Structure 1
Amino acid sequence: MDPIKLIIQTLEAMVGAHSQLLDLAKEKRSVLVEGDINQLQNIIYRESSCTEEIQKLEEQRKALVKVYLEGKGIPEKDSTIEELLKVQENVEHRTVLSGLAKQLRSLIREISQLNESNQQLIQSSLSYTQFMIGMHVRKEPSIGYGPKSKNRYTNLLDAKI
């Protein structure tokens, strides 16, 4: 099969895998809001297998681009799509490759934004949890001498009303 068609098929598979990862990130956001730990673990497992697939596809893409560029007599600088586009003479292939590259960039940007948002959501949840635990757990006594140093515990459950 034509090497450029193999590259295009690999890029299409990468777009599909990134779309799946984006869907999982969106699903994770709603699960984080709901606080469903079991569902979150399931999503994380699926994300892990999806990222493994993306890594394999990326290695395959690099190898195919390297072979293609070497076949054209071009020494390998980078195995990037941009390098491939520079030497691509077929307008149709160049258009398809360019479109796939744009799709991948867009998907990666959106995944990154969602992951940052999810990370902030997790951080807020952790801060709230730590605050609530701090409200119900005794604080360490302050070190010092004198009659007032013994009574420096703060505990919501022991408060007198």
Structure 2
Amino acid sequence: MEKILTGLLENMMSQFELYQRVLSLASEKKSVLVKGDIHQLERITKEEEGLILQVGRLEEQRLSLQRDIAGHFALSAADLTVSDIIDRVEEPISAQFRHVVENMTDVLKKLAETNEANTELVRNSLEFVNFYFNVLTDNDSTPSYGEKEDSQKGNAAKIFDRKV
């Protein structure tokens, strides 16, 4: 049983390290979004994808270890939480689990906040691009009342057609 618990602990620490790297990339992405550097954004996104794939593999291993631990405690794997494990194991190991859970919670909270900020930056950029695109493609829609003004409006040059 100790081997399984150690395996779970190592798995969680590995996931924590990967999430720290994802957080670092998310922070880097924030400055890249502000600068508008598409090439750097693409590089960061590819790195993030690789890290997320690694987290996915670790998560599959974690679920397997969780099933083994749940079987040992005669619990359902779906119902077993880290808190249950902490309550049921001896102190040196339970303290290590508490430490990893606190660190993981902290990094995931920071990652969520950073991703939310990045989402807002992307949203603002898209709004600006859409506004600029509309300025370049729309006709002047101000009302006019004279014949001369109507004929000038019809002759206004658009930079782009808006056909899609």
Query: Structure 1 length as normaliser, TM-score?
Result: 0.83
Query: For this pair of structures, how many residues does the alignment match?
Result: 154
2:82 aligned residue:
81
- Contact kept, 8 Å, 2:139 with 2:158, in 1: the verdict is no
Unaligned runs of 5+ in 2: 160-164
Deviation sequence 1:20-52 (CA, Å, 0-9, x none):
000010010011011110110111111111111
After TM superposition, give the deviation of residue 149 of structure 1 in Å. Answer: 6.4
- CA distance in 2 between counterparts of 1:141 and 1:77 reads 60
- CA distance in 2 between counterparts of 1:71 and 1:124 reads 51
1:38 aligned residue:
39
- CA distance in 2 between counterparts of 1:154 and 1:113 reads 50
2:134 aligned residue:
134
- Give the SS at the match of 1:2: helix
- CA distance in 1 between counterparts of 2:46 and 2:8 reads 28
2:104 aligned residue:
104
- Give the SS at the match of 2:87: helix
Root-mean-square deviation (Å):
2.7
Query: Structure 2 length as normaliser, TM-score?
Result: 0.81
After TM superposition, give the deviation of residue 60 of structure 1 in Å. Answer: 1.1
- CA distance in 2 between counterparts of 1:139 and 1:10 reads 59
After TM superposition, give the deviation of residue 18 of structure 1 in Å. Answer: 0.4
- Contact kept, 8 Å, 2:66 with 2:77, in 1: the verdict is no
Give aligned-pair identity as a percent.
21
1:58 aligned residue:
59
Unaligned runs of 5+ in 1: none
Matched, 1:72 2:73: yes
- Contact kept, 8 Å, 1:25 with 1:111, in 2: the verdict is yes
- Give the SS at the match of 1:103: helix
2:18 aligned residue:
17
1:94 aligned residue:
94
Matched, 1:118 2:118: yes
